[in-house]
Amino acid sequence: MISVAINGYGTIGKRVADAVAAQEDMKVAGVSKTKPDFEARVAIEKGYDLYVSIPEREKLFDEAGIPVSGTVEDMLEEADIVVDATPEGIGAKNLEMYREKGIKAIFQGGEKHDAIGLSFNSFANYHESLGADYTRVVSCNTTGLCRTLKPIDDLCGIKKVRAVMVRRGADPVQVKKGPINAIVPNPPTVPSHHGPDLKTVMKGVNIHTVALLVPTTLMHQHNIMVELEDPVEADEIKARLDETTRVMLVRASEGLASTAEIMEYAKELGRSRNDLFEIPVWEESINVVDGELFYMQAVHQESDAVPESVDAIRALLELEEDNMKSIMKTNRAMGIL
């Protein structure tokens, strides 16, 4: 039973903690918080040992009546590996601490690939992280691209990808972010960073992306155009995506015509926090015209990359050499389709 520390118990960290706790071959050594908020209190109620990220703030936890088991460095002593789910840029700064402690670490997509040296996706390059000391799970958007482009590439080969990334303006809890009444090119330069990020795990893929922010909090949405190497029918693409785990075909004709309706469907699945780990692809959008594939998909940015963090743990610790065996273990434990 592998002990996993979760450094950062926010949007991603709390989901990773629950995912780890659900696995048969790992357990949560502890989670960390910078402040004694409701998430810290819930972590204690769930039975997780809580550690303070900033030692000088331990008194604040005492005053709030929230017990802590020590500092992050104390937590690392109890763990075999750490998943760093701290805010963007903080993880790279924590890397030196992990090196000094001699502990393997997994970072999130907010960190730069060059800062960590290796990126990870369960389907595209699991083997590259086998036995590595550090790896970075690519971002929610890049994970979404991998989930659908990898099986398409396996089926018929990819010449070129062009994608328009319609990104949510903020997560539901981020009340101080926007936009509220605007569409924002983000970045205004072309191409966006999503293409280079995909290339860190799908080596050699020819992709360029543009991205914009819109006033919604629910999901990202992708509009993808793929020039294919080999002739293929739209029905063959549909069949391949339908049989690919962590991808789901949805139909607008069945009332799933928007991200709002997809998230309403996610509530019906009965999962914690209404999470949707799978990438929904609108079946009606899949079409092949003159050798070019078109399709649309959505990404639940709060949860889609969480199962990849679990698979990355197995890769770094060499608990499972076969990526599909790890994927299926993770899926069974998390109830993923």
Task: State how far the Cα of 109 lies from the Cα of 155, in Å rounded to an integer.
Answer: 27
What local confidence, expressed as pLDDT, does residue 235 receive?
A: 98
Sign of CA dihedral 141, 142, 145, 147: negative
Q: What is the pLDDT of residues 161-199, one digit of tens each?
A: 999 999 999 999 999 999 999 999 999 999 999 999 999
E strand or H helix at 215: none
- Mean pLDDT, to the nearest integer, of 89-114? 97
Structure tokens at 224: 């993808």
Question: Vertex 315, ends 153 and 107: CA angle to 5°?
Answer: 90
140 has catalytic annotation: yes
What local confidence, expressed as pLDDT, does residue 62 receive?
A: 97
Q: Which residues of 150-162 are buried (b: 16+ CB within 10 A; e: fewer)?
A: bbbbebbebeebb
Radius of gyration of the chain (CA): 20
Instruction: Check the annotation: does 141 bind a ligand.
Output: yes
Instruction: Check the annotation: does 194 bind a ligand.
Output: yes
Residue 229 and residue 264 in one domain? yes
Residue 13 and residue 159 in one domain? no
What local confidence, expressed as pLDDT, does residue 161 receive?
A: 98
What local confidence, expressed as pLDDT, does residue 196 receive?
A: 96
Give the residue among 295, 331, 333, 291 at the shortest CA–CA distance from 123. 331
Residue 235 and residue 97 in one domain? no
What local confidence, expressed as pLDDT, does residue 44 receive?
A: 98
Q: What is the pLDDT of residues 243-256, one digit of tens each?
A: 999 999 999 999 99
Residue 152 and residue 293 in one domain? yes
Out of 20, 66, 140, 226, the active site residue is: 140
Q: Which domain holds residue 238?
A: 140-299
Confidence label for 60 from pLDDT (cuts 50, 70 and 90)? very high
Cα separation values, 12 from 9, 94, 212, 260, 302, Å: 7, 17, 22, 21, 6
- Mean pLDDT, to the nearest integer, of 274-294? 98
Residue 18 and residue 100 in one domain? yes
Residue 313 and residue 253 in one domain? no
Confidence label for 261 from pLDDT (cuts 50, 70 and 90)? very high
Contact (Cβ atoms closer than 8 angstroms) between residue 109 and residue 137: yes
Residue 274 and residue 144 in one domain? yes
Residue 145 and residue 183 in one domain? yes
Residue 7 and residue 101 in one domain? yes
Task: State how far the Cα of 334 lies from the Cα of 337, in Å rounded to an integer.
Answer: 9
Q: Give the CATH number, domain containing residue 42.
A: 3.40.50.720
Q: Give the CATH number, domain containing residue 248.
A: 3.30.360.10
Residue 7 and residue 49 in one domain? yes
Residue whose tokens read 């001699």: 102
- Mean pLDDT, to the nearest integer, of 268-285? 97
Give the residue among 302, 158, 140, 313 at the shortest CA–CA distance from 222. 140
| Number of compact structural domains in the chain | 2
- Mean pLDDT, to the nearest integer, of 319-326? 98
DSSP-assigned beta bridge partners for residue 318: none
SS3 for 150?
helix
What local confidence, expressed as pLDDT, does residue 267 receive?
A: 96
Structure tokens at 164: 């328009």
Give the residue among 213, 210, 306, 300 at the shortest CA–CA distance from 260. 300
Confidence label for 231 from pLDDT (cuts 50, 70 and 90)? very high
Residue 161 and residue 285 in one domain? yes
Instruction: Check the annotation: does 30 bind a ligand.
Output: no
Instruction: Check the annotation: does 168 bind a ligand.
Output: yes
Residue 99 and residue 155 in one domain? no
What local confidence, expressed as pLDDT, does residue 337 receive?
A: 85
